[in-house]
Structure 1
């Protein structure tokens, strides 16, 4: 039985969704973020030394990192589902977006989150004006332009297809869901990019997505 070490409001929601799409049996062990720091609890370090989520246990195997988990589940349990055939142009696109999601799309969104917390969080009064001015300048001059560049690129990639790897839904779309949901929550993704907005509507309407939300609990990115 696959065990998902599931942290609330995290990337592990994608793992639950993939398992639902593959109709694989699994169990969920829940972990809650610290409400003040939003960090994962120390108990996760007993599963993996970095104490991060997602992590899955499958027999003797413990697998961390979203992309590695997706590849592991598709290769070991997918049975040819949710991945284009090897050697095809679609498979190349699939591999690209499977890794692009975390390698390229997420870093500027994480920088935006950090800058937002510096700008809006509590700070000593004598550093507050300077720190907030630096955060605002970083966002306007570098972070948001980077996010916009990625969103424009992704909007163009869906001009001729509904899904990132090709005409068929794949695990690459599951992997891409997190940065796009994060962009909708805090990165400026809105109706100005109708293809990406429609992509989010399509994935949110999938029965497996909704079942994963039920299994994982409340899911909100801030």
Structure 2
């Protein structure tokens, strides 16, 4: 299994997820900020949009973090990263996977850009609505699926982490505590170590 990775990007989600899985994988560094690197034909065959993360697993090539998460959950159930099809909670689990790209990130980008959006017309609502949904989803906690940590926490948790990192964190004790729980996981620390090496040019 191979992961195209660039530090300080959404590839961190897939990296953290793979660290949580315990599966063997290799990292293929790519600098998506460099036109020549982004245009590399081998990379673009795995990621037509020239974005990361991109995962190669045998003949399967995936270039969306939600799709990568679902693939790993379903293809490697021994990793225990989410309920299988037919298991209780599967629907809610998939909904949280989709929530990150469909709701969290668009709402967060509006926060960054101070865009004026009519939430009644927006497909993803508003930033305050998104925060409220996450806070409610963490009840009773400690994770989105209750006592079980899943790939949904990797996707939502990484977005919460970056929200704090980039100074967009609202006054939300439940989400602040959730971020701390995510950051305390050994796999999160392992992914951060890889990011640090990559940022130093030693990936």
TM-score, L = length of structure 2? 0.82
Partner of 1:59: 58
Distance 1:187 1:88, change over 3 A: farther
Query: 2:164 aligned with 1:164, yes or no?
Result: no
Map 1:32-181 → 2, pairs under 5 A: 32-34=31-33, 41-43=38-40, 44-79=43-78, 81-113=80-112, 115=113, 138-139=115-116, 146-181=126-161
Residues of 2 paired with 1:203 and 1:16: CA distance? 14
**RMSD of equivalent CA atoms:** 2.8
| 5+ residue gaps, structure 2 | none
Aligned-partner Cα distance in 2 for 1:51–1:173: 26
SS in 1 for 2:102: helix
Tell me which residue corresponds to 2:187: 208
Preserved contact between residue 6 and residue 12 of structure 1 (Cα < 8 Å): yes
Structure 2 CA distance for partners of 1:94 and 1:100, relative to 1, 3 Å = same
Query: Secondary structure, in 3 states, of the residue corresponding to 2:177?
Result: helix
Deviations 1:2-27, CA, capped at 9 Å, x for gaps = 11000221111111111111111111
- Comparing 72-81 and 56-65, the one that deviates more: 72-81
Question: Are the structure 2 counterparts of residues 26 and 88 from structure 1 closer, same or farther at C-alpha, using a change threshold of 3 Å?
Answer: closer
Q: How many correspondences in the alignment?
A: 192
Tell which structure's C-alpha radius of gyration is larger.
1
| Structure 1 gap ranges (5+) | 116-135
- Asked whether the 8 Å contact 1:82–1:169 carries over to 2, the reply is yes
